[in-house]
Structure 1
Protein backbone atom coordinates (compact mmCIF):
# COMPACT_ATOMS: atom_id res chain seq x y z
CA UNK A 1 0.00 0.00 0.00
CA UNK A 2 2.78 2.45 0.89
CA UNK A 3 4.57 1.51 -2.35
CA UNK A 4 1.49 2.52 -4.35
CA UNK A 5 1.17 5.82 -2.53
CA UNK A 6 4.85 6.68 -3.02
CA UNK A 7 4.59 5.66 -6.70
CA UNK A 8 1.57 7.94 -7.21
CA UNK A 9 3.28 10.78 -5.31
CA UNK A 10 6.46 10.39 -7.37
CA UNK A 11 4.45 10.43 -10.60
CA UNK A 12 2.62 13.60 -9.54
CA UNK A 13 5.82 15.36 -8.52
CA UNK A 14 7.57 14.25 -11.72
CA UNK A 15 4.67 15.48 -13.84
CA UNK A 16 4.71 18.81 -12.05
CA UNK A 17 8.47 19.21 -12.60
CA UNK A 18 8.09 18.42 -16.32
CA UNK A 19 5.19 20.89 -16.54
CA UNK A 20 7.32 23.62 -14.94
CA UNK A 21 10.24 22.82 -17.24
CA UNK A 22 8.10 23.17 -20.36
CA UNK A 23 6.65 26.40 -19.03
CA UNK A 24 10.09 27.89 -18.49
CA UNK A 25 11.29 26.87 -21.97
CA UNK A 26 8.12 28.28 -23.51
CA UNK A 27 8.33 31.61 -21.67
CA UNK A 28 12.05 32.20 -22.08
CA UNK A 29 12.72 30.84 -25.54
CA UNK A 30 9.75 29.95 -27.73
CA UNK A 31 7.35 32.85 -27.17
CA UNK A 32 9.85 35.70 -27.69
CA UNK A 33 11.06 34.15 -30.96
CA UNK A 34 7.51 33.62 -32.20
CA UNK A 35 6.55 37.21 -31.35
CA UNK A 36 9.58 38.60 -33.21
CA UNK A 37 8.86 36.43 -36.25
CA UNK A 38 5.26 37.65 -36.23
CA UNK A 39 6.36 41.27 -36.06
CA UNK A 40 8.83 40.78 -38.93
CA UNK A 41 6.12 39.16 -41.04
CA UNK A 42 3.71 41.99 -40.30
CA UNK A 43 6.35 44.61 -41.20
CA UNK A 44 7.06 42.82 -44.48
CA UNK A 45 3.36 42.72 -45.35
CA UNK A 46 2.93 46.42 -44.58
CA UNK A 47 6.00 47.33 -46.63
CA UNK A 48 4.70 45.30 -49.58
CA UNK A 49 1.29 46.97 -49.36
CA UNK A 50 2.91 50.41 -49.16
CA UNK A 51 5.13 49.70 -52.14
CA UNK A 52 2.12 48.51 -54.13
CA UNK A 53 0.15 51.62 -53.18
CA UNK A 54 3.03 53.89 -54.20
CA UNK A 55 3.28 52.06 -57.53
CA UNK A 56 -0.39 52.68 -58.18
CA UNK A 57 0.00 56.45 -57.86
CA UNK A 58 -0.09 58.08 -61.28
CA UNK A 59 1.49 61.42 -60.48
CA UNK A 60 5.28 61.48 -59.99
CA UNK A 61 4.95 64.34 -57.50
CA UNK A 62 2.59 62.20 -55.38
CA UNK A 63 5.03 59.29 -55.52
CA UNK A 64 7.90 61.51 -54.38
CA UNK A 65 5.79 63.05 -51.60
CA UNK A 66 4.76 59.64 -50.24
CA UNK A 67 8.31 58.28 -50.49
CA UNK A 68 9.66 61.34 -48.65
CA UNK A 69 7.08 60.97 -45.89
CA UNK A 70 7.77 57.24 -45.43
CA UNK A 71 11.49 57.94 -45.32
CA UNK A 72 11.09 60.53 -42.56
CA UNK A 73 8.69 58.32 -40.58
CA UNK A 74 11.34 55.62 -40.52
CA UNK A 75 13.89 58.06 -39.09
CA UNK A 76 15.89 58.44 -42.27
CA UNK A 77 16.82 61.38 -44.50
CA UNK A 78 15.28 61.87 -47.97
CA UNK A 79 17.60 63.44 -50.54
CA UNK A 80 15.43 65.56 -52.84
CA UNK A 81 18.05 65.88 -55.57
CA UNK A 82 18.37 62.12 -56.08
CA UNK A 83 15.11 60.84 -54.59
CA UNK A 84 17.01 58.42 -52.36
CA UNK A 85 16.29 57.60 -48.71
CA UNK A 86 19.45 57.24 -46.60
CA UNK A 87 20.26 56.52 -42.96
CA UNK A 88 20.91 59.51 -40.71
CA UNK A 89 24.54 60.31 -40.02
CA UNK A 90 25.68 59.36 -36.52
CA UNK A 91 25.86 62.38 -34.27
Structure 2
Protein backbone atom coordinates (compact mmCIF):
# COMPACT_ATOMS: atom_id res chain seq x y z
CA UNK A 1 0.00 0.00 0.00
CA UNK A 2 1.40 3.34 -0.99
CA UNK A 3 1.13 6.64 0.85
CA UNK A 4 -1.33 7.92 -1.76
CA UNK A 5 -3.67 4.97 -1.11
CA UNK A 6 -3.55 5.57 2.64
CA UNK A 7 -4.36 9.25 2.10
CA UNK A 8 -7.32 8.35 -0.14
CA UNK A 9 -8.70 5.90 2.44
CA UNK A 10 -8.23 8.44 5.23
CA UNK A 11 -9.90 11.19 3.21
CA UNK A 12 -12.83 8.88 2.40
CA UNK A 13 -13.22 7.95 6.07
CA UNK A 14 -13.22 11.60 7.15
CA UNK A 15 -15.74 12.55 4.44
CA UNK A 16 -17.98 9.64 5.44
CA UNK A 17 -17.82 10.63 9.11
CA UNK A 18 -18.66 14.26 8.29
CA UNK A 19 -21.58 13.23 6.09
CA UNK A 20 -22.92 10.90 8.80
CA UNK A 21 -22.60 13.64 11.42
CA UNK A 22 -24.35 16.15 9.16
CA UNK A 23 -27.28 13.79 8.49
CA UNK A 24 -27.60 12.84 12.18
CA UNK A 25 -27.38 16.48 13.30
CA UNK A 26 -30.03 17.56 10.81
CA UNK A 27 -32.42 14.77 11.84
CA UNK A 28 -31.83 15.57 15.50
CA UNK A 29 -32.45 19.30 15.08
CA UNK A 30 -35.48 19.02 12.81
CA UNK A 31 -37.29 15.85 13.94
CA UNK A 32 -36.21 14.19 17.18
CA UNK A 33 -35.54 17.21 19.40
CA UNK A 34 -38.82 19.07 18.68
CA UNK A 35 -40.79 15.86 19.22
CA UNK A 36 -39.04 15.23 22.53
CA UNK A 37 -39.64 18.82 23.68
CA UNK A 38 -43.32 18.61 22.75
CA UNK A 39 -43.69 15.31 24.60
CA UNK A 40 -41.95 16.77 27.66
CA UNK A 41 -44.23 19.81 27.67
CA UNK A 42 -47.31 17.58 27.44
CA UNK A 43 -46.11 15.46 30.38
CA UNK A 44 -45.36 18.54 32.46
CA UNK A 45 -48.75 20.07 31.66
CA UNK A 46 -50.49 16.83 32.67
CA UNK A 47 -48.59 16.74 35.97
CA UNK A 48 -49.42 20.37 36.72
CA UNK A 49 -53.09 19.84 35.87
CA UNK A 50 -53.27 16.80 38.14
CA UNK A 51 -51.61 18.71 40.98
CA UNK A 52 -53.97 21.66 40.50
CA UNK A 53 -57.04 19.42 40.50
CA UNK A 54 -55.80 17.65 43.63
CA UNK A 55 -55.26 20.99 45.39
CA UNK A 56 -58.72 22.20 44.36
CA UNK A 57 -60.26 18.97 45.65
CA UNK A 58 -58.61 19.51 49.02
CA UNK A 59 -60.27 22.91 49.51
CA UNK A 60 -62.73 23.09 52.37
CA UNK A 61 -65.98 23.81 50.57
CA UNK A 62 -67.63 23.99 47.16
CA UNK A 63 -67.62 27.79 47.11
CA UNK A 64 -63.82 27.89 47.46
CA UNK A 65 -63.47 25.24 44.76
CA UNK A 66 -65.71 27.16 42.35
CA UNK A 67 -63.86 30.43 43.06
CA UNK A 68 -60.49 28.85 42.26
CA UNK A 69 -61.82 27.18 39.10
CA UNK A 70 -63.27 30.51 37.86
CA UNK A 71 -59.96 32.26 38.51
CA UNK A 72 -57.94 29.57 36.69
CA UNK A 73 -60.37 29.76 33.78
CA UNK A 74 -59.98 33.53 33.42
CA UNK A 75 -56.18 33.31 33.75
CA UNK A 76 -56.09 30.85 30.86
CA UNK A 77 -58.20 33.16 28.70
CA UNK A 78 -61.41 31.18 28.94
CA UNK A 79 -64.95 32.16 29.81
CA UNK A 80 -66.56 30.55 32.85
CA UNK A 81 -70.05 29.19 32.20
CA UNK A 82 -71.90 29.62 35.49
CA UNK A 83 -74.90 27.53 34.39
CA UNK A 84 -72.72 24.46 33.69
CA UNK A 85 -69.95 25.32 36.21
CA UNK A 86 -67.25 24.73 33.61
CA UNK A 87 -64.63 26.66 31.71
CA UNK A 88 -65.15 27.32 28.02
CA UNK A 89 -61.69 27.62 26.47
CA UNK A 90 -61.06 30.36 23.95
CA UNK A 91 -60.60 29.04 20.43
CA UNK A 92 -57.29 30.00 18.78
CA UNK A 93 -57.52 32.42 15.90
CA UNK A 94 -56.29 30.87 12.66
CA UNK A 95 -54.68 32.48 9.64
CA UNK A 96 -57.42 31.42 7.22
1:44 alignment partner, one of 25, 43, 46: 46
| TM, length-normalised to structure 2 | 0.86
Q: CA deviation at 1:90?
A: 8.6
SS at match of 2:84: coil
Q: Distance in 1 between matches of 2:92 and 2:39?
A: 28
Q: Secondary structure at the match of 1:78?
A: strand
After TM superposition, the structure 1 = structure 2 runs for residues 1-91 of structure 1, keeping only pairs within 5 Å, are 1-88=3-90
Aligned residue pairs total 91
Unmatched 5+ residue regions in structure 1? Answer: none
Q: TM-score, normalised by structure 1?
A: 0.91
RMSD: 1.8
CA distance in 1, matches of 2:38, 2:82: 34
